[in-house]
């Protein structure tokens, strides 16, 4: 399963030499970690990078902010967007926290087939007052676990993917000259120096952590960018659902659905598509609100909304007729798995 919050994380604290650590070195380190991940196709083009510099004493005092930068083939060469942001950060004097963050698309494997997730890993490198470099790696899939986050055993998937993660952690540790500190146990899993603990031994911290926590988290992300409203359909149903596959610019970003037995309708983001799945989903939810304001029942709204996409020039409904799913849970699982 793919998640919008990290499954686990690992941290390396690098002690500087006498000259301290400047932002340029942190950026170089982050790119070097990317290259380690790329060696196992855990990071593939094109990554997205953000850079920020804020005051140590006041986090609201932001001196540099650059978001959504493409990680170009040689990202720190002269005149790239990243190198310009880093140069601006390097020019500052004072007590600051420098942060560079790279979202890494990458592949996880299932029976030899590559599946792409737009945010498989996130690399973060922070410099505190030129005196400490903290490198953090986060992962957003449970492909490294013996059981997925819905409590299903996946030994074959684990065998294909866990060694790739272990090799990456070893490579990063060799690069930085220090072993990682695994993150704390969380609602999904318990990180170790080489990957994750086996949840089959003591059991998961929560039953069906993906369904319990990720589903409401995704709903919150979808609705965070649109105004609250009571003019909409019910969000949940225990009835079978009918749905359409939604594409934007040729990429599947989610599923538009309606209940076959009550007045529920909504949109399930395909988490593997990353942020654009949620950006598109917010717009589709607004279209459903329009259908609701017209007095359409849920199934009629499904048809009307599919015929009136928010972005006709780039949005595509794949099927000519709606597909059927036995439950909303089935569709949620589909949207979070691939």
* Segment 104-110 mean pLDDT: 97
Cβ atoms of 121 and 137 within 8 Å: the answer is yes
**Structure tokens that stand for 275 in this block:** 């942020």
pLDDT band at 247 (very low <50, low <70, confident <90, very high): very high
Predicted confidence (pLDDT) at residue 50 exceeds the cutoff of 70: yes
User: How would DSSP label each residue in 243-279?
Assistant: EEEEEETTEEEEEEEEESSSSBEEEEE-GGGTHHHHH
CA–CA distances in Å: residue 110 to residues 37, 41, 113, 335: 18, 14, 5, 16
Closest listed residue to residue 222, CA positions, set 258, 260, 262, 255: 255
Cβ 31 vs Cβ 41: under 8 Å = no
Q: Is the omega angle on the peptide bond into residue 189 within 30 degrees of 0, that is, cis? A: no
Q: What's the average model confidence in pLDDT over 221-235?
A: 93
* 52: pLDDT strictly greater than 80: yes
Q: How far apart (Å, rounded) are the C-alpha atoms in residues 246 and 318?
A: 6
pLDDT number for residue 202: 87
The answer on pLDDT for 19 being more than 80 is no
Q: Residue range 150-176: average pLDDT?
A: 97
pLDDT above 90 covers a percentage of the chain that reads 84
> Which residues lie below 8 Å from residue 183, measured CB to CB, with a gap of 6+?
6, 8, 9, 10, 11, 191
From the list 162, 133, 177, 128, the residue with the least C-alpha distance to 7 is 162
Q: Identify the residue whose tokens are 């990554």.
A: 47
Q: How many CA atoms lie within 13 A of 299 on its CB side?
A: 12
Q: From the CB of residue 174, how many other CB atoms can be counted at a distance below 10 Å?
A: 11
Q: What's the pTM value of the predicted model, to 2 decimals?
A: 0.94
**What is the pLDDT at residue 18?**
63
5 has a pLDDT exceeding 80: yes
Mean pLDDT (the chain) is 95
For residue 248 the two structure tokens come to 């934007």
Please, what is the Cα angle at 63 between 59 and 65, to 5 degrees? 95
Q: Please say if the pLDDT value at position 131 is more than 90.
A: no
pLDDT at position 246, please? 98
* Helix (H/G/I), strand (E/B), else coil: 332: helix
Q: What does the alpha-carbon distance between residue 139 and residue 16 come to, in Å, rounded to a whole number? A: 26
Please tell me the distance from the alpha carbon of residue 71 to that of residue 74, in angstroms, as a whole number.
8
Give 117's strand partners.
106
Residues in a beta bridge with 127: 98, 133
Which of 31, 40, 338 has its CA nearest to residue 175?
31
- CB 298 within 8 Å of CB 259: yes
Report residue 3 as tokens: 């998640």
Give mean pLDDT, residues 88-113. 93
Whether the predicted pLDDT of 17 surpasses 80: no
Residue for token digits 């499904």? 302
How many angstroms separate the CA atoms of 86 and 241, rounded?
49
């Amino acid at each position: 399963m793919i998640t919008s919050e990290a499954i686990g994380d690992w941290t390396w604290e690098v002690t500087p030499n006498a000259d301290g650590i400047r932002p340029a070195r942190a950026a170089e380190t982050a790119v070097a970690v990317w290259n380690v991940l790329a060696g196992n196709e855990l990071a593939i083009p094109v990554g997205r990078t953000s850079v920020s510099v804020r005051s140590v004493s006041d986090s609201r005092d932001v001196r540099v902010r650059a978001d959504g930068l493409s990680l170009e083939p040689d990202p720190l060469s002269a005149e790239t967007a990243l190198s310009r942001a880093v140069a601006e950060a390097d020019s500052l004097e004072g007590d600051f926290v420098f942060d560079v963050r790279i979202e890494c698309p990458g592949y996880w494997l299932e029976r030899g087939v590559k599946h792409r997730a737009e945010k498989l890993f996130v690399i973060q490198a922070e410099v505190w007052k030129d005196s400490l470099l903290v490198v953090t790696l986060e992962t957003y899939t449970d492909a490294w676990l013996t059981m997925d986050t819905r409590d299903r055993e996946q030994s074959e998937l684990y065998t294909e993917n866990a060694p790739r993660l272990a090799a990456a952690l070893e490579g990063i540790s060799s690069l930085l000259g220090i072993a990682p500190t695994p993150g704390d146990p969380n609602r999904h899993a318990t990180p170790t120096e080489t990957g994750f603990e086996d949840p089959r031994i003591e059991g998961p911290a929560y039953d069906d952590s993906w369904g319990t926590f990720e589903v409401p988290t995704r709903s919150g992300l979808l609705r965070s960018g649109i105004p609250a409203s009571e003019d909409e359909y019910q969000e949940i149903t225990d009835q079978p659902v009918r749905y359409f596959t939604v594409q934007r610019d040729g990429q599947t970003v989610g599923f538009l659905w309606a209940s076959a037995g009550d007045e529920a309708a909504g949109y399930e983001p395909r988490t593997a598509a990353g942020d654009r799945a949620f950006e598109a989903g917010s717009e589709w939810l607004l279209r459903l609100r329009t259908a609701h304001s017209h007095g359409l029942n849920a199934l009629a709204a499904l048809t009307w909304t599919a015929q009136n996409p928010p972005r006709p020039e780039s949005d595509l409904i794949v099927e000519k007729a709606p597909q059927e799913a036995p439950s909303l849970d089935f569709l949620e699982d589909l949207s979070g798995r691939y």
